[in-house]
Each structure stands twice: as C-alpha cells, then as structure tokens.
Chain A
Amino acid sequence: MKENRFEKFTKSKMFTLLILLVLEVVVFTIWSGIKQGSNTYFTFKALTTVINTMTVPGFLAVGASFLMISGNIDLSASSIGAFAGMFAAASIQYYHFTWWAAILVALVISGAFGFFNAILVNEFRFQPFIATMAMSSVVKGLMSFVSMDPKAAAPVATTITLNPNMLDWFGASPTDALNFLGKKVFFQGQVIEIPFNIILLILAFVIYGVILKKTKFGMKVYLVGGNPMAARLVGVNPKKISYILFTNSAIMGGIAGVIFTSKTLQGSSQALMADMFTGLTAAMLGGISFGGGAGGMGGAFIGLLITRAFNQGMLAINAKSFVTTAFSGLLLIVALTIDFASARSTTARALKGV
C-alpha cells in the first residue's frame, strides 16, 4: 500500500501541530474580537511582537531539543544565558571591551559551564536534572558577582544599563547597522525590517535541523537517545555526544542571553527567567520526547510559535498575568500529555504487530 506524500504529511505529527497553531490563532482572534470589540490579535503589530519575543526562548529550545533527543536535559541553560548577558554588559561597561570581544568571551564561558555540566553527568554520574539545577544556582550567584562595579567603593550586585550605541548590533531596534544586517520585506503594504536576531534564530533552526536529519552526528544523537547501551555496543561513544550537546546547550543559552542584553540594553539578574520554561515547552509541544530518541527541529519550531502565539493571545484578551502563568503551565501539561499519549500509542501499535 503506497501513500502519496500529501497523505503521509496529513498523518504526521507536524500536520497536527500546524492544525493546532491555526486553531489557536482562530480562537484568539475571535475571542479578542468578542472581548475587545474588535480583533486585536491577528494584526501586524501582534505579529512583530511575536517575532520579537521568539529569539530568546528559541535559542534555548534549540539547545534543549538536541539534548532531549539524546536523552538528557539541561535546566541551567537560561541561567547560563543570563550570566552571559550580564558578563557581556559588564565587560563593555566596566572593562571597555568591544562588542564582539564581549560576546565572544561570554559565549566561551557559557560553553565552559556546559562542559562542566557534562563532567558532572558523565564522570560523577549525577542525574542531569540535579546536576544542571545545582549548576543553575551556582551560575546565578556568579552572575551577581560579575554585575558589581569594581570601581565602586562598596560593590553591590546591580542591573547594568548600557548606552544605546554600545550593543545594538544584535538588537531589534531599526538602526543603520540593522539596515545592513537585517532584511526589508513588504507586509500589508508596509516596509518592515526583520531584526537580525530572528534571522539568526531561523538560521539556527535550519542548520540544526539539517545536522539532525542529514549528518552522521545527527544519526548518532538519535541512536544514543533511543538506547545508550545499544548505541555503545554498535560503536557509538555516548559520552562524546553528551559532552558536545551539554556544551552546545550552554552556548545556545549564552547566545539567548547576549541577544536579551542587546535587545534590552541591559544586563539583568531577572533576564531569561521564564524563558527556560518556554523553551522546554516548545520542544515538548513539538514532539521531542523526554525519553529521548524522537522528534525534530521543525516540530520544535512550530512548538515555539505555538507558545509565543499563546502568550500574545493572552495579552490580546487582556488576561491577568497570573492567569497567563497558570495557562502557560497548562500548555506544558498538554505537551507532556501528548508525549505520554504518543508513547502509549507506539507501544500499542507494537503489541498489535506481535
């Protein structure tokens, strides 16, 4: 029995996710119309907000997706990102680094934190959950230390606010630099500039998607996630994969943090607070299983759109912030339920096949 490509697509998880996204948009459009008297949701302005708020959790989702497919998890990526953002701000403000040097050093340090996570998990056999949670706390402490002005008589932890000219290279504000790096497109008759960071994010999803599906390394990530013991017995080195992916996840966190700093012109201890949650939810909604071995970057990207569109929807219907928080949690529960249900249906299919 041969299925054509379209039929196959309609049965895929990707298709279900797209339907979910469309449904979400329709519901919020109608809902906001009823509540506000006119549609405040499906608008150009809302779209730009969605895009603008995508990058930070998006990069966390990229790192988390790879780790989760390999059967691991990293809860420290957002803290490492906040540290990287703060470090970049501090090195520019206090030590007068140029922007690219600041970013480079911040990312190298992020990678080192990730490498240390991998040591804890692989050499000391910590549960990844515990190791990265502890790491998260360590990094947050270090971040406050970095934020202190060394020239002050009695240094205290603070938020570093940058001069707008210092770090707008990555930023969302339309500047000359952005005209050069960004892209002009036409939308509803207006010319808009797509910020450089969103281009970076899409590029990251595409590159990592290709790595996962088309390269030998990507296949090994799936093998290790599917069954580490069996992967070892066919000659794959799960440890090596784990080191690479923990380091990668931390660097992705670092990029997210640096982007946060460039967009807000702030090194803040509150940075990326809710974004780890969003990143993980996006990955799981997109079909990346906690158990490892399944899912892909395309799904994770749509998962990310769903979470962002959801947040925007809560704004459009004027929901109280605590309601939004509660519903974000519900969204995660939905994601986990999908994960659980699909795992069960796979097992059921297998039983049927016997």
Chain B
Amino acid sequence: MEQYLEFSGIGKAFPGVRALDDISFRASSGSVLALIGENGAGKSTLLKIMSGDLQPDQGKMILNGEEVTFSSPLDAMKKGISVIYQERQLIPSLSVAENIFPGALPRNKFGLLDKKKLREDTKKIIDRFGLSINPDVPVGTLSVAHQQMVEIMKAYRRHSDVIAFDEPTAPLTDTEIDILFRFIKTLKDDGKIVLYVSHRLAEIFQITDEIVVMKDGKFVQTVRTAETNEQEIVKAMVGRDIGDTYASLSRNDKFGDVLLDVKNLSSPYVDNVSFQLHRGEIIGFAGLVGAGRSEVMRAIFGADPVLAGEFSFDGQPADFKSPKDAIDAGIALCPEDRKEQGLLLFRSIKDNVSAPVVDKLSSSIFRNPKLEEEIAQSAIDKFSIKTPNSEKICLELSGGNQQKVILGRWTSPLVDTKLLILDEPTKGIDVGTKQEIYQMVCDLAKQGYGVIFISSELTEVIGVSDTIIVMHNGHVTGRTTRDENPTEESILAMAMLD
C-alpha cells in the first residue's frame, strides 16, 4: 500500500500577513519531494505546521488516509513526522547512541541502562546507512555533517513515516553532501516520504523526484523533476525570466594599482598564503568549508594574530592589531554569519549603518542624529533597501535587505573603505535578490573598491570574480582568472588537491 502525506487547503495568517494561502499537494512514499520558493514564499511556515510548531488556520493534513492534527512538535514526532532543521537538536556531551535513542534507552533486568544493547542497536542503524561512526563518542566531537547524519538516524530510529529536511546542505562540504544524498536515497528505498527544502537548484535536480513551487504563500505548481529544467523552475519561483544570471552582469574592466599585497602570510589557521588584489578587482575565494578562506581574512583584518609573513595595504606595510586598526586603514569585513557577527539585529538600520563611523560623525562627545539619518538614508537609496524608514529594526528585514544594510554600512561616505571583504554574502538569500547583490558587487568594483568575494557556491565564485583563488586545508592550492574560463570541475579539482 502506498503511503502519502497530503496537504489540503492549508492556510495560515499572522497579524498583517497571509503566510500561507490554500496550499494543497501530496507527497508519496518512496520519492523525494522538493519544496522550493523565494524567501517569504512560506516554506518555513509550512514546515512548522508539519512539525506541530504552528497550527494551521484552515485546511487539513492527511497522513495515509487519516486526518492528523499536531498539538506540539512532540505530538508530530509521535505520529511519525520528523523535521530536520539547520540548527541541530542534539546534546553535544552525550554519545551518538544516547542521542539516537533519547527516551527509548534499552534497560537491563535491573532497570538500569543496557549499554551493550544500546551499542548494538545503534550499530545496526549506523550500518544500515553504511557509515563508520563510533556509537560511543560524544556527538559534539563529530563533524557538522556527521552530526546531521545522527539527526537523520534519530528520525529513522523513531520509524518516522515522513522526514523533512530544511536547507540540509548549507553547512556541508561537497563530499559531505554526497554522503547526505546517499542517506536520503536509503530513506527513499525504505519507503519513507521525504521532503526537501533548499535554495540550491542544482541539488534539487540531483536528488528529488518532484518539485513543488511556492510563491508568496501560494502554491504555484508541482512538476516532475525529470520533466523540467532550472530556468523553468526559477521562472516559476520569481514569476519572471531571470535569464543567465552572470552573463548579464555589467562588470568593471579597468583595474587600478595594487591595493592589497599579501606575502607568505601564516596565522594559527592558514599557512603561507600569497596574493595581490588591485583596485576595482574582484577576487573570489573558493574552497570547501574549513579550507581556511575566512581565516585568511580574519588575519588580514586584525581579528587573528599573524604568525609569519607580511602584507601591505594601500602602499603601506600593514600590521593590524585589532579590527579597529584595519577599519581605520580602510578594510571592511562583512562576516559569513550575518546575524551573529555582522548585524546588530535589535538596532535600527540607522544605528547599523552609522556604527563604524559613530566617532567620525561629530567632533564632540555627542552623537550627530542629523548626519546619522543622512548616511542611513543614502544607504537605503543606494542599495534599494526595502523599508518604510531608517528606524526599522534589522531583525525585521529579510536576509537580502540585511545584507544590503551591511553593504551600505561599509560604503557610507564617511567610512572611507578601500577593500570590501564579503564572506558568503548571498547565504540564505533568494535567487532574485542574489542577482541584485552580484550587480551591486560589480558596481562597487567599478567605483574602485577592491573586493574579496568568498563563497561556497562555485557557480557564484566563477560567475562574479575576475580572479579566483582556491584554498584547501589552509593552503592556496590553485589560481585562475576569468579569461581561462574556469569550470566547476576544474575548481573542485584544485579544491580537493592535497
């Protein structure tokens, strides 16, 4: 008998917003269904309804012919639905086995924990997925990817009928993604209903059987993955034709003199890194997660100590003791973790834009509200940030607009930035806004900024950068330029080189 999960007319409203409107589709066992849409399309809300976090205002969910309602995530879990979020829900200090069997630990005849049986049962599950993880090690010591595997095995152990993934590959390296996909295939072969939410189109075409497209809280269409292509899906998502994202970029072709000259730089995390960046040039840093790209930047920015080697910036030998020194010299770092390290989430756009120049805005001890407003407004105009005014709290902005606030912060008239370091600037940002950000980056290069563009999405690095530097394990393992027409395969080969 075929198993299925059906959504029928699901609706959900928050004050002022219709998050979901009449969503109906069916996910069947033994196949992987992708849920796709721009940010704000309602994917997360739908997942939350599935997992019992939220209750729908309208419509119903039908699991194998029976209508189901969930009062809480625990309730949904008991009824056979597991949602695997980006944030792990594991206990780092407990072992793999204990994490897989929470609340169902086997007991021996004295009522105590039966460690032997626990280990055997866990081993069975690990073997089923063809992994080599020791059931006894604390989960916290595993790699991010393996932690995710533990999370999946946890769902498997609960005999969940439905397993949903929310952006599962975001923290993973390419090899780890392969392991994850093997996992998903195993689940599929076992007749599970798998839902897969991701921004990465390439993956969706690789792993899923069906695609459900959502837009603005509404259901757009279901298509069989084999019968469509990326262009069609993007068009359905954004409601317009995007064309070839990168070919249409208007680029800078005139480079200035050398802005940053790094020679044999070593820090606690990277070894012997050298490169040169000109004014107006975009250098892309490619590599797997943990290759040391962000760490090179932290050393240049004065956030990590430089152990050996040297670099000069803007013609001057540089040795920054703190981020403040680097900022004063004209370097801006837009960190990978926008919410944790980049933005002051609970402050207004105005405060976020004026934060680095607060000392320059006035010569007395007092702030200068008029100038603050001016530079905030100019950032809002320059980067077309969608907001009613500059007082809006950044937490309430979408990811793309948050990224634009950071760009606005470092390009305001008073900050005097010469080099912009963008670490994963499009992470978690929807397709339409990504394109906008690529063009903004190219425009900044045209204005004479040197740009370092770090990204784990190879297509993006290839599409945006003038020069590409590939890193692996803290070393530079390859370089190439746009003229050499690099491909994903050629870059990946350099990134995996030892």
Interface flags for A166-210 (1: CB within 8 Å of B; 0: not) read 000000000000000000000000000000000000000000000
Give every chain A residue within 8 A of B361 (Cβ-Cβ): 216
A215 CA to B16 CA in the complex, in Å?
36
Q: Are A233 and B367 in contact (CB under 8 A)?
A: no
Known: A214-B367, A223-B355. 14 other contacts (CB 8 A): A218-B367, A226-B346, A227-B340, A227-B343, A227-B344, A232-B303, A234-B323, A234-B409, A235-B323, A293-B346, A346-B346, A346-B395, A353-B396, A354-B39
User: Which chain B residues in 344-388 approach chain A with CB under 8 Å?
Assistant: 344-347, 351, 355-356, 358-359, 361-362, 365-367, 388
A95 CA to B373 CA in the complex, in Å?
57
Size of the B side of the interface (Cβ < 8 Å), in residues, is 40
Which of B256-264, B327-335, B437-445, B473-481 sits within the interface? B327-335
Given A216-B358, A219-B351, A234-B355; A349-B396 close (CB under 8 Å): yes
Q: Are B341 and A229 in contact (CB under 8 A)?
A: yes
Q: Are A230 and B343 in contact (CB under 8 A)?
A: yes
Question: Which B residue's beta carbon lies closest to that of A293?
Answer: B346
Q: Are B359 and A216 in contact (CB under 8 A)?
A: yes
- Most-contacted residue by chain B among A229, A230, A351 (CB, 10 A): A230
Given A216-B359, A223-B355; A232-B347 close (CB under 8 Å): no
Q: Are B365 and A237 in contact (CB under 8 A)?
A: no
- Min CB distance, B459 to chain A, in Å? 26
Q: Is B110 an interface residue (CB 8 A)?
A: no
Q: Are B346 and A233 in contact (CB under 8 A)?
A: no
Q: Are A237 and B351 in contact (CB under 8 A)?
A: no
Q: Is A308 an interface residue (CB 8 A)?
A: no
A234 CA to B355 CA in the complex, in Å?
7
What total count of A-B pairs have CB within 8 Å?
93
Q: Is A140 an interface residue (CB 8 A)?
A: no
Q: Are B344 and A230 in contact (CB under 8 A)?
A: yes
- Min CB distance, B305 to chain A, in Å? 15
- Min CB distance, A266 to chain B, in Å? 39
A294 CA to B347 CA in the complex, in Å?
9
Q: Are A232 and B340 in contact (CB under 8 A)?
A: no
Give every chain A residue within 8 A of B343 (Cβ-Cβ): 227, 230
Q: Is B112 an interface residue (CB 8 A)?
A: no
Query: Contacting B342 at CB < 8 Å: which of A219, A233, A351?
Result: A233
- Most-contacted residue by chain B among A229, A237, A294 (CB, 10 A): A229
Q: Are A215 and B366 in contact (CB under 8 A)?
A: yes
Q: Are B340 and A229 in contact (CB under 8 A)?
A: yes
Q: Are A234 and B346 in contact (CB under 8 A)?
A: no
Q: Are B40 and A354 in contact (CB under 8 A)?
A: yes
Q: Are A233 and B358 in contact (CB under 8 A)?
A: no
Query: Contacting A219 at CB < 8 Å: which of B341, B345, B358, B409?
Result: B358
Q: Is A350 an interface residue (CB 8 A)?
A: yes
Q: Are A222 and B351 in contact (CB under 8 A)?
A: yes
Q: Is A231 an interface residue (CB 8 A)?
A: yes
Q: Are A223 and B347 in contact (CB under 8 A)?
A: yes
Q: Is B188 an interface residue (CB 8 A)?
A: no
Given A216-B366, A352-B17, A353-B397; A236-B355 close (CB under 8 Å): yes
Give every chain B residue within 8 A of A234 (Cβ-Cβ): 323, 327, 355-356, 409
Question: Which A residue's beta carbon lies closest to that of B360?
Answer: A216
Q: Are A230 and B323 in contact (CB under 8 A)?
A: no
